[in-house]
Amino acid sequence: MAIATKYKINFSCGHAETKDLGTTPAGKRASKARWMGEKYTCSKCFKAADQKDLDKLNAQTLVEAEVFEQEHELPELQGSEKQVPWATRVRYQLLSDGLDEVGHDSPDAQELIVAAQTITRCGWWIDYKDADPGEVFEVVTTGAVKVKEQAENHVDSENPF
Ligand SMILES: [Zn+2]
């Protein structure tokens, strides 16, 4: 008689899933199924816990980002409800990397923060989320120049005289 390779495992979260234990020697499958059930949660709960960890990590980063924002007098970002926390984290990560790169007390650090203060659009920060630390200074200072130009052009076109 062939020994079953598929076992219904009762996981510690209370859910059950059927797993193929074909790679486990036949005589050990039943005890392995029991051991897996006691040690693990089902795949759905495993994924949910993963997502929860990620949410927790994001929330923690957001707290750090808000402290950073206050310390460096960075303005609140403009964007949708979903974009703002995301872009706030991105800005924090980019600028911390950028500051590490140029040196926190260097004149470049000052210039970087002043430039960053003028860029308030979430989409801009999100676009540059993958910039290398070595690129941050250039990307942000160039971005600030563009923001300034746009503001000036806007004023020009609004000017009725
Ligand atoms: Zn479960």
CA 52 to ligand 1 center in whole angstroms: 14
Distance 18 CA to ligand 1 centre (A): 12
* pLDDT at residue 157 in the model: 63
More confident position, 95 or 4: 95
Residues near ion ligand 1 (CB < 5 Å) are 13, 15, 42, 45
Mean pLDDT of all residues belonging to the chain = 93
Cα of 48 to ligand 1 centre, how many Å?
9
How many Cα atoms occupy the beta-carbon half-sphere of 121 within 13 Å? 12
- C-alpha 6 to ligand 1 mean position (Å): 18
Distance CA 8, CA 6 (A): 7
Domain boundaries along the sequence of the chain: 6-41, 52-158
pLDDT band at 95 (very low <50, low <70, confident <90, very high): very high
pLDDT at 113: 98
Q: What is the mean pLDDT of residues 97-115?
A: 96
Q: How far apart are CA 19 and CA 64, in angstroms?
A: 42
